[in-house]
Structure 1
Amino acid sequence: MDDDSPTRRWRLRTELPLGIASMLFLAAYAAHVLAHGMPEWGRRICLAVIAATWAMFIGDYLVRWRLSGRGLGFVRSHGLDTLVVVLPLLRPLWIVRLYDAVLDRRGEPRLPLYTRVMFYAGIAVLLLGFAGALAVYQAEYTAPGATIRTFGDSVWWACSTLATVGYGDVTPVTVRGRVVAVVMMACGLALLGAVTGSFSSWLLQVFAREGDREKPPES
């Protein structure tokens, strides 16, 4: 039986708008951080877009919390949604859910599970890396004694952090930058584990099928 609950209906109506809001948030945040010569009116527009998208996510979270009727149980079982509302750095990850939202509307078959996990993880790494690089650059480039002075330095740092390599040639020195670093380290480990686990499971499945084919028929 298809799930026709109010929560599902609300989710189907809002996932696409929230995915678009995530893209607007990322674009406005990037312009706010990187466009140093932006006029004041442009900066105010960027801040208004950031605030409006944040309000959309908070409103969606509160509505789904109320529709669930589960009280604090909803918060515990929707950890990522809670973090997306609290931590702006994770908000662009909502773009990943656009894939499911589009397929739900079209009723098309989804990719195999292993492919989906690796696809989602790859997109999440790109989005998280870009957002993290923006956040660290904003916190670091004017800080005394900072080694991250350009956005290129920040991108290099984000790549080495998400890859769990951590060369140490450029590191954040501000409290805000180090908080972002901790979040990115945790996300990098989780995404790396998801991709590695899915790839290993896929290989085991392939080898198992090949072993079944090579098995001689019983007489």
Structure 2
Amino acid sequence: MSEDRWKQLTDWPLTAAAVVFLGVYTWIVLAQPGGTAARIGDAVLWGTWLAFALDYAVRWYLGRPRWRWFVRHLYEFAIVALPMLRPLRVLRLLTMVGVLQRSVGGALRGRVIAYTAGSTLLLIFVASLAMLDTERHAPGANITTFPDALWWSVTTVTTVGYGDYTPVTNTGRLVALGLMLGGIALLGVVTATLASWIIQRVAEEDEASQSATRAQVTELTAQIAAMRTEFGARYDPNTERTQPP
């Protein structure tokens, strides 16, 4: 079996597992269940983690050469190794990508914009959950509710950083570091996409202006040629005079 065939067979099951993981993780962080409910939630999270780990192992085994595949898919390793990043597979559910692709004719820029928007929203949401889960019971923590965590994530990912909410644990600082790096990368994608759009529009307008100029030059050349032809037809070389029209 090839890696592409394996991905075709497991794409939707892994997407469903990602949705289940994100839903259960959100429920655990916000509802804080205890007893049997908490154990069931943990079992579901471990089950989805094992599904992603198995998918990674199989694709690594099918990849050739394996060491090069591993280097090219380091982000996949991070998704499997870091539980906070596993829900990123839910981005496959962004059906707006398909709608946008049909509306813009499959333009790469349209897919980048849709992916960036979805990635930003999901990154903010997951970072808020992770920060709340980490900081809520820490001594001296000021991020103790989900709205506080969400506000912190928005100000951090947009590089505003008011400083009214800050992590006090090492794990929280690692979450903040990941969010800052992700925010910079996503803003860079948005800036680059906008710049390329502006450059394309300027190039299109310049091309249209040059086309109009070429058309005018062509028209003037044709008019001059017609005038020369008409002048030559009325010119009498014997009298060196022009015949009246």
Scaled by the length of structure 1, the TM-score of the pair is 0.89
Correspondence for 2:239? none
TM-superposed CA distance for 1:111, in Å, is: 3.6
CA distance in 2, matches of 1:214, 1:12: 47
Correspondence for 1:18? 14
Gaps of 5+ in 1: none
| Higher RCO (CA-CA < 8 Å; seq separation 6+) | 1
What residue identity is the alignment partner of 2:50?
A
TM-superposed CA distance for 1:92, in Å, is: 1.6
Conserved 8 A contact 2:134-2:172: yes
Structural mapping, 1:6-155, within 5 Å: 6-36=2-32, 38-99=33-94, 111-155=106-150
Conserved 8 A contact 2:157-2:179: yes
- Inter-CA distance 39–147: structure 2 relative to 1 (3 Å threshold): closer
TM-superposed CA distance for 1:135, in Å, is: 0.7
Conserved 8 A contact 2:135-2:141: yes
CA distance in 2, matches of 1:10, 1:202: 36
**What fraction of aligned residue pairs are identical, expressed as a percent?**
41
Which of residues 174, 177, 185 in structure 2 aligns to 1:182? Answer: 177
Conserved 8 A contact 2:94-2:118: no
Question: SS state of the match for residue 130, structure 1?
Answer: helix
Conserved 8 A contact 1:7-1:68: yes
CA distance in 2, matches of 1:39, 1:162: 32
Conserved 8 A contact 1:89-1:128: no
Which of residues 178, 193, 196 in structure 2 aligns to 1:198? Answer: 193
Q: Deviations over 1:129-166 (max 9, x none)?
A: 11111111011111111111211110001111111221
Which of residues 204, 207, 211 in structure 1 aligns to 2:206? Answer: 211
CA distance in 1, matches of 2:94, 2:125: 20
What residue identity is the alignment partner of 1:82?
F
Gaps of 5+ in 2: 219-245
What residue identity is the alignment partner of 2:120?
V
Question: SS state of the match for residue 28, structure 1?
Answer: helix
CA distance in 2, matches of 1:196, 1:79: 25
CA distance in 2, matches of 1:91, 1:112: 28
Correspondence for 2:228? none
- Indicate the RMSD between aligned Cα atoms, in angstroms: 1.9
- Inter-CA distance 149–39: structure 2 relative to 1 (3 Å threshold): closer
Give the total of aligned pairs.
209
- Runs of 4 or more, structure 1, over 6 Å off, are none
Q: Deviations over 1:70-106 (max 9, x none)?
A: 2222121012211111112222211213458x96xxx
